[in-house]
Amino acid sequence: MQRHFEMVQGPDGTAVWLGANFWSRTGGPLMWRNYDGAVVREELKVLADNGLNLTRSFFYWPDFQPAPDTVDEESCSHFEDFLDAHIEAGMTTIPTFIVGHMSGENWDPAWRAGRNLYTDVWFVNRQAWYIKTLTARYAAHQAVAGWLITNEMPIYGGEASRPEVAAWAELMVNAVRAGGGSQPVSVGDGAWGIETTGHDNGFTIRDLAPFVDFVGPHVYRMESDVVRQHLKAAFVCEMSAISGQPVVMEEFGLSSDFVSAENAGHYYRQLLHNTLLAGATGWIAWNNTDYDHIITQRPYSHHPFELHFGITDAEGAPKPALRELKAFGGTLAAIDLPRLKRSEVSAALVLTSYLAADYPFTEEAERELVVKTAEQAYVAAHEAHLPVAVVREAEDGPLPEGYGLYLLPSIKALTGPSWAQLPGLAAGGATVYASYCVGETGTQRGPWWIRTEELFGVERQLVYGLNNPIRDDVVEFTFTEDFGGIRAGGTLRFRAAGNEHSRAFLPVKETDGTVVARDQHGNPAVVVKRHGEGRAVLCTYPLEYMASVQGAVNPEESYRLYEALADVAGIRPPVEVPDPLVFVDSLIHEDGRRFIVLVSQHSEPVEVPLKAERALRTLDGAEAASVALAPYGVAVLQG
């Protein structure tokens, strides 16, 4: 099945956005009061010389709309020069209107007086007037590549109901169109809503999709495991594709105060390539420069680490992040991104509709659990060299059809129609895998599963109101039969984790299912039941959940079970790599070329032998039976 890979369509055709969020070092958010066109041109030249073609820029709201019916002419004149400077540099920009929130502080126009940004009719009208007025001034300028309504509005305007947010967003986008803006537009909210976090802040990708042209994740999440951290933004991209629209990494980056220079480069390299493979088609780093010269200015005075998110230092010299962006831009040109598509896959990583539908009497913690467990399964699939499509259960069911392997990792709940659908998917030739998880709360603490015996060939041996705690620190599976590449007698070991609810397994007794692995106490751990041409596979332990709540855990041995599932389902990776810490995926050019991308999770250099059906070559044509990867390095091959 095909995975999402959509490009932004600008006025002049397909756009590949590779750039940086931009505040000049002369003032940060106050740059329009301290505008220096010469400095701006120096800053843009450094970005352009390093392969960037775009900035995201900001109308600092208190300066640009000092009164309800007024735009500031001096600020507008500076912005006109700013646009001209982009043309001189061979770049474009995406202006952002309502700013609002920035780098650890919120700023209101003096006349807001506490009004609600979404529901105060007069105030909404003033926002729309402001957006229409500025759009009309600049829409014809060749430097404008797109528009963003706001910057992280849930932080600035607060959360609201979905209908209120959708109505407000539609009015704001209509204001852009009324002002003559034909370029792509999006909201700028960060894609932090229920579909990607489990928390409903009112901003949902699906509700906003009718009004916007792309989805723009902002990713700055912290982690306890380096492999999960390197794949985190990629998984956010996968989740953000729910509307089928282009996904642009609208904000990402790091403060130099949080990381060594070497590790800053590693993070950028990993994020850029992993999000490309996850379907992103635009990247706008946070941000263009450091701000040491304005250390006494808010927000930098009270959030001093915000001084050093720049991809250049305060004097304009490139930092490791900019060097990685330049190298990535070279790769995008070499592989001809606008004419690529993601390779088709046979495996589906399923996200339950509980993550998007907000069903009544569902606790937020259970939606957040879906994100955690699916993300860890995404990591395990990468370690197993199993490219997956991240698919979503439809609201009230069913699941998308057509895959050879369905992964339901540490799943507590699907809808009834989806549970009823699974035996038919298996009978049609699919391998359906589900691992048990009771969830992290005590509410209706049991598996919300139906037809367990029909699907898996087991009887549940639960006692009402009780769970079955995992008392061992390490759980060991011993295989009693061959299962994929795991031979009879082989073992898998997993560190146990979870709270008083979730650290539990599912006791079962087999009926017409076959136990292929048992735990160290003799309990069934992996059970297989044939259904026509396919099979259902039950894991009675929450493997993905247990790994998701642990630090420094990857690679953990769930990937070996995933390798076995792929073997059983007849799925082969694009290239065989004997190392779980070297990820592999492929992109297909419209002319038939296939690009193989290898991404190392090793902190040291490694030499990786490769096995493929067709000969592999480097981009410059040299044969490649193996590849040398630098620490956390990336290689792109043709094959």
Phi and psi at 504, nearest 5°, equal -150, 155
- Between these two residues, 14 and 41, which has the higher pLDDT value? 41
CA 382, CA 114: separation in Å to the nearest integer? 48
CA 426, CA 405: separation in Å to the nearest integer? 9
Q: Is the pLDDT of residue 11 over 80?
A: no
Least Cα distance to 272 among 311, 230, 212 occurs for: 230
* Helical ranges in 20-120 per DSSP H: 37-49, 61-64, 73-89
Least Cα distance to 190 among 212, 225, 169, 215 occurs for: 215
Q: What whole-number percentage of the chain has pLDDT above 90?
A: 94
Task: Determine which helix (DSSP H) or strand (DSSP E) holds 20, and give its type and residue range.
Answer: strand 17-21
CA 325, CA 327: separation in Å to the nearest integer? 5
Where do we find the tokens 């419209």?
Answer: 590
Going by pLDDT thresholds of 50, 70 and 90, the confidence category of residue 279 is: very high
Q: Are strands 524-531 and 514-518 parallel, antiparallel or unpaired?
A: antiparallel
Q: What whole-number percentage of the chain has pLDDT above 70?
A: 100
Tell me the per-residue pLDDT of 186-216, one tens digit each, with 9 for 90 and over: 999 999 999 999 999 999 999 999 999 999 9
CA 131, CA 121: separation in Å to the nearest integer? 15
Residue 540: what pLDDT?
Answer: 98
Tell me the per-residue pLDDT of 475-520, one tens digit each, with 9 for 90 and over: 999 999 999 999 999 999 999 999 999 999 999 999 999 999 999 9
CA-only gyration radius of the chain, Å: 26
Under CATH, which architecture does the 8-342 domain have? Alpha-Beta Barrel (3.20)
Tell me the per-residue pLDDT of 545-595, one tens digit each, with 9 for 90 and over: 999 999 999 999 999 999 999 999 999 988 999 999 999 999 999 999 999
Q: Where are the beta strands (DSSP E) in 22-175?
A: 54-60, 92-99, 101-102, 105-106, 147-150
Domain regions of the chain by residue span: 8-342, 347-569, 582-638
Tell me the per-residue pLDDT of 133-143, one tens digit each, with 9 for 90 and over: 999 999 999 99
CATH 1.20.120.80 assigned to domain 347-569? The reply is: no
Q: What is the mean pLDDT of residues 456-464?
A: 96
Q: Is 597 helix (H, G, I), strand (E, B) or coil?
A: strand
> Residues 193, 345: contact at Cβ < 8 Å?
no
* CATH code linked to domain 582-638: 2.60.40
The residues, any chain, with a CB within 8 Å of residue 522's CB and separated by 6 or more, are none
Tell me the per-residue pLDDT of 352-388, one tens digit each, with 9 for 90 and over: 999 999 899 889 999 999 999 999 999 999 999 999 9
Q: Is the pLDDT of residue 444 over 90?
A: no
The residues, any chain, with a CB within 8 Å of residue 63's CB and separated by 6 or more, are 30, 32, 33, 72, 75
Tell me the per-residue pLDDT of 402-439, one tens digit each, with 9 for 90 and over: 999 999 999 999 999 999 999 999 999 999 999 999 99
Tell me the per-residue pLDDT of 28-53, one tens digit each, with 9 for 90 and over: 999 999 999 999 999 999 999 999 99
Q: Could you count the other beta carbons within 10 Å of the beta carbon of residue 580?
A: 22
Q: Is the pLDDT of residue 12 over 80?
A: no
What are the DSSP calls for 434-480, one per residue? EEE---SS-TT-S-B---HHHHHSEEE---TT---B---SEEEEEES
Residue 467: what pLDDT?
Answer: 93
> Residues 281, 16: contact at Cβ < 8 Å?
yes
Centroid of chain to Cα 632: 19
Residue 312: what pLDDT?
Answer: 98
Torsional sign, CA 226, 334, 84, 26: positive
Torsional sign, CA 510, 513, 514, 516: negative
The residues, any chain, with a CB within 8 Å of residue 498's CB and separated by 6 or more, are 440, 470, 504, 542, 545, 546, 549
